[in-house]
């Protein structure tokens, strides 16, 4: 019987592998079951209620398109997510690195200023994508 104590070698291996496995499983599901072809993905409640696209509308399909190597399609589906994904991945990798080295055991925390900048950009993006001009469609 294997016991996972906080300082054990098995616990360290599990701590290192589990976050990567979760990301791998999510990416695998998106690649195997594209959101455009399968209906088990949740629908946006904002779009369903108001027929307005929120900043996240099309994000799952955009990530799936990126996993297939289709950058143009991803930009068409959700330019904001497509452009912010490398920044989010870099931040996530930094958090993962600190997590594995036990420098930070808590949830990732973002400094206030970048959060406000992203919220402002997302708000502007939302307004622009819902204008009749269809700049981001």
Evaluate whether residue 13 is within a structural domain. Answer: yes
User: Which range marks the domain in which residue 54 is found?
Assistant: 9-129
Evaluate whether residue 22 is within a structural domain. Answer: yes
User: What six digits make up the tokens of 131?
Assistant: 């204008």
Indicate the pTM of the whole model: 0.79
Evaluate whether residue 82 is within a structural domain. Answer: yes
3-state secondary structure 57-101: CCHHHHHHHHHCCCHHHHHHHCHHHHHHHHHHHHHHHHHHHHHHC
Instruction: Tell me the mean pLDDT in the region 59-87.
Output: 95
Structural domains in the chain (count): 1
Summarize pLDDT for 111-137 with one digit per residue, the tens.
889 889 999 999 999 999 988 875 555
Summarize pLDDT for 27-65 with one digit per residue, the tens.
999 999 999 899 899 999 999 999 999 999 999 999 999
Evaluate whether residue 135 is within a structural domain. Answer: no
Summarize pLDDT for 11-32 with one digit per residue, the tens.
788 888 999 999 999 999 999 9
């Amino acid at each position: 019987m294997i016991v996972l104590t906080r300082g054990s070698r098995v616990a360290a291996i599990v701590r290192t592998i589990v976050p990567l496995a979760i990301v791998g499983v999510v990416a695998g599901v998106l690649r195997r079951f594209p959101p455009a072809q399968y209906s088990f993905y949740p629908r946006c409640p904002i779009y369903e209620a108001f027929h307005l696209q929120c900043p996240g509308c099309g994000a799952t399909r955009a990530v799936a398109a990126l996993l297939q190597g289709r950058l143009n399609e991803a930009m068409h589906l959700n330019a904001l997510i497509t452009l912010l994904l490398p920044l989010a991945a870099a931040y996530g990798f930094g958090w993962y690195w600190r997590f594995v080295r036990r420098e930070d055991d808590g949830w990732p925390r973002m400094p206030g200023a970048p959060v406000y900048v992203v919220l402002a950009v997302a708000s502007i993006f939302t307004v622009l994508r819902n204008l009749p001009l269809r700049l981001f469609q």
